[in-house]
Structure formats: structure tokens, C-alpha cells
Amino acid sequence: MRLGVVGMLPANPAEIRTRHLAAIRALRLTGVGLSISAKNSPPATAPMWQRVRLLFADEGIDIVQVGIGYQACLFDPDDEARSLLLEEIRRGFGIARALGAHAALIRSGSLSSNGSYSPHRENHRPACRDRLLDSLRWLASVAESLEQTVVVETHLLTIMRSPEFNRAVIRDVGSTRMRLVMDYVNHFQSLHQVYDSRERLRHIFDCMGPVSAIGHCKDIAVRDGFVLHMDEEVPGEGELDLGTALRLWHEEHPDGYMMLEHLPDESYPLAAANVHGILEKERIPVY
């Protein structure tokens, strides 16, 4: 397997320099994630993207994921708003392709006005699933024409709420270019699952592993409070059996990337060291 990071870079890709990539390589990481705006980033033909692509190639760092940022929802009941969003995402796919990204990353969104990962009762109506499938099928056809793999972020608070649901959605889209992110921490639903994480991890990977293209490597910490508070934690500093998670990923995707993410820059050295230590202990090869 391979190990990368979503972080340690300027938010604006135009500001990335060799020193940023050298710091990533020093942690024995070989891939990165970039973020772009679906609407406001320069077009795929802009010279900036060619410069960024060549910079990464010269430094031997893969652009693993390009996260496409937008506010709207893939299952918005307003057909005009949804059509505009899909065209913006199509533009983002073109940029990901120009960068040579392993995957373009999208999210389902939410009908909540509080944000894409905020829960809302209406998200789980059958009509929302139907509209989500319509959007993903349209995007899959675009991805196929570009030969660009796309991954969908999932989370228990969103319409992409469970490993079983997510597997079924990808099955029903019916395109090998439409895959999932193996973000296993997003699908722990109870304290028991965290404390007996091997069983839960196996179930998550059984459902989502075959239809995932990249993974996000994180841990979980349980906090005090009423009723249940679980936070993301530096890998190796939380409650999960990460040896099991990494082994399951390697068995399914021996050449696939696990990406460290959602940490302050100063925490990535510890995260990288912990994960490399777990990989060595489990005798999982990484390159």
C-alpha cells in the first residue's frame, strides 16, 4: 500500500513550492490531496495546473485526490440548481484530469442549511436517493468520458449513512469510475463498535472495500459528555485497531493510498510515525 497526506500544503495550489513537498517526503509520504473550487478555480487549461502537475512529478509526489468544493447538494429538489451544480462539478473533473489525479473527490451534500455534513430528516426520503442516483449517474458518464476516477465521501450523518447503503448506491450507479472513499471512522455508530473495533472494521471493509478507490487513515477518541461524543484522533493515539484497518485495506488495494487528514500540520509527523510503526509491526509493505 501507499501512504499520503491531505494537508501540509498551502490552500492555494499556486503557492505550493518544493519545500512543501520536501517536508512531506521527509515523513515517508508519497502522495497528497489538493482542494479546488468547483466554480472559482482557474479552468483546466490554465497554465497554473500544468505548473503544479510538473512540480509534483519532478518531486516524485503523487496527486492522489483533488477535492472539489461546493455548497449545493447532489439531491437538491430544485432541478435547475442541481443542473448548475453538476456542470460546476464537471469543470472540477476536468481540473483533476489535467492534474493527473488518481481521483476527484465529491460529497453528497445535505438539505440542511448548516452544511454538507449536517443531518436533516428529509435527506433520507426515497426521493432523495433517487435524485442522488440521477446525479451520480450523470457524473459517472462525465468521468467515463474523461477516464477520471471519482470518489464519494460518506458519513453516518449524511444520506451516505451506512456501509450497506453506500455499497448499494455504487452498485446502482453501475460505473467503475464512480467509487467511494474508505473513510472508516465515519461509520462508527456506537461506543460498543469503537471498543470492539475489529468486528466493525471488518464489516465496513466487507461492504465498502471492493468499491473504494482511496482511503483516509484516522483514529477515534471517546470524550466525556452526555450522551456520546466521539472525535477524530491522530492515528495510533485513539481507540481503533488500526492494524486491522490497514491490513484490510492492503488486502483489498495493495497499491492503494491511505491518506492522513484532518490534523494540524504539527501533528502529521506523529501521525506518519505511528502509521509507519503499525505497518512495520503488521508486516504490511508500504512504498
pLDDT in tens, 144-196: 999 999 999 999 999 999 999 999 999 999 999 999 999 999 999 999 999 99
| C-alpha span between 257 and 259 (Å, rounded) | 6
- pLDDT-derived band at 20 (thresholds 50, 70, 90) equals very high
Residue 33's pLDDT is what? 98
Residue range 58-76: mean pLDDT, rounded = 97
Domain that holds residue 130: 2-282
Residue range 239-264: mean pLDDT, rounded = 98
Instruction: Kindly state whether residue 211 falls inside one of the protein's structural domains.
Output: yes
Residue 43's pLDDT is what? 96
Neighbours of 20 (CB within 10 A): 17
Residue range 6-30: mean pLDDT, rounded = 97
Q: Is the pLDDT of residue 225 over 90?
A: no
Residue 227's pLDDT is what? 85
The one-letter amino acid at 6: V
Instruction: Kindly state whether residue 48 falls inside one of the protein's structural domains.
Output: yes
163-177 residue pLDDT tens:
999 999 999 999 999
Q: Is the pLDDT of residue 56 over 90?
A: yes
Please count the structural domains in the chain. Answer: 1
Instruction: Kindly state whether residue 47 falls inside one of the protein's structural domains.
Output: yes
Instruction: Kindly state whether residue 147 falls inside one of the protein's structural domains.
Output: yes
**Percent above pLDDT 70 for the chain:** 100
Instruction: Kindly state whether residue 29 falls inside one of the protein's structural domains.
Output: yes
The CATH number for 143's domain is: 3.20.20.150
Q: What does the block give as the cell for 61?
A: 509526489
**Cα Rg for the chain, rounded, in angstroms?**
18
CB contact at 8 A, 98 and 43: no
Instruction: Kindly state whether residue 287 falls inside one of the protein's structural domains.
Output: no
Nearest to 287 by CA among 247, 254, 241, 242: 254
Measured distance between the N- and C-terminal CA atoms of the chain, rounded to whole angstroms: 7
